[in-house]
């Protein structure tokens, strides 16, 4: 099935460090979404981006919608232990979301 | 208010059997979508239903079927189960066909086929 290219696949960082992950697509999307998934749960929406070039923040999270509408990135500043989880980008199509493979974030206290 | 509820939470089935998974959307949401998430991968789109009609179908075999009821709840059916059908099945609800207001996911049903 179709998936977006998300990198890195995993990250091992120290508490307090900043984190950056990105997502690219061969197709244009008019909406980009970033989700976080924790064990035993479904994905939870973190940030939604609706306009090319848009930069949106949600607390320590900042995401940008690429100008070409084929990419997006997510930054997490000053990571804390509860940031642990799998982060997914998703492009919103007509009736569906197309997800990346996920970035697994592990934090050493 | 209750979020998206899915049942059962876990299920073990034998190859060749049939399974039915259930989803209740957020109150007021008329669209339900189903996704399959294989371990280590992102969710893959299976179906979207809106107002009891199928509005989208992903690249899954005909063994997969779904329906939506008048109260907007939904069932996903999978026939002739294969080992490769083992996955987390997620249901997402939204207000409209195009999730302009976002998709809210349930916690999923973990299906294991042995």
Mean of the per-residue pLDDT values for chain B?
93
Is residue A101 scored above 80 in pLDDT?
Answer: yes
A91 at the B interface (CB within 8 A)? no
Q: Average of pLDDT values for B6-15?
A: 98
CA-nearest residue to B40 within chain A is: A101
Using the beta-carbon criterion (under 8 Å), do A94 and B98 form an inter-chain contact? yes
Q: Average of pLDDT values for A67-71?
A: 94
pLDDT of residue B2: 76
A45 at the B interface (CB within 8 A)? yes
Which residue has better confidence, B22 or A92?
A: B22
State the pLDDT confidence band at B3, using cuts at 50, 70 and 90. Answer: very high
Q: What percent of chain A has pLDDT over 70?
A: 98
Q: Average of pLDDT values for B28-55?
A: 94
What are the tokens at A24? 């690219």
Which residue has better confidence, B35 or B95?
A: B35
Q: How far is CA B91 from the centre of its chain?
A: 4
What are the tokens at A77? 């500043």
Q: What percent of chain A has pLDDT over 90?
A: 88
Is residue B114 scored above 90 in pLDDT?
Answer: yes
Of A92, A94, A99, the CB nearest to B43: A99
- Neighbour-count burial of B45, counting CB atoms closer than 10 A to its CB (0-12 exposed, 13-18 middle, 19+ buried): buried
Among B89, B107, B93, B106, residue whose Cα is nearest residue B11: B89
Of A42, A88, A92, the CB nearest to B106: A42
Is residue A17 scored above 90 in pLDDT?
Answer: yes
Q: Average of pLDDT values for A74-103?
A: 94
């Amino acid at each position: 099935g179709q998936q977006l290219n998300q990198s890195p696949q995993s990250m091992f960082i120290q508490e307090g460090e900043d984190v950056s992950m990105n997502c690219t697509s061969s197709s244009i999307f008019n909406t980009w979404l970033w989700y976080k998934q924790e064990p035993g749960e479904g994905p939870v929406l973190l940030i939604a981006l609706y306009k090319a070039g848009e930069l949106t923040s949600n607390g320590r999270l900042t995401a940008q919608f690429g100008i070409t509408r084929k990419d997006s990135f997510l930054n997490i500043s000053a990571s804390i232990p509860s940031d642990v989880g799998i982060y997914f980008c998703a492009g919103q199509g007509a009736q569906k979301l197309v997800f990346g493979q996920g970035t697994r974030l592990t934090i050493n206290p | 208010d209750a979020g998206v509820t899915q049942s059962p939470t876990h299920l073990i089935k034998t190859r060749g059997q049939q399974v039915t998974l259930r989803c209740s959307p957020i109150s007021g949401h008329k669209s339900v979508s189903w996704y399959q998430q294989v371990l280590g991968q992102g969710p893959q789109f299976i179906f979207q239903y809106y107002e009891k009609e199928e509005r989208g179908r992903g690249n899954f075999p005909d063994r997969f079927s779904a329906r939506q009821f008048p109260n907007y709840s939904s069932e996903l059916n999978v026939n002739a189960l294969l080992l490769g059908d083992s996955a987390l099945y997620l249901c997402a609800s939204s207000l409209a066909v195009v999730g302009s207001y976002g998709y809210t996911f349930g916690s999923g049903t973990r299906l294991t086929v042995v």
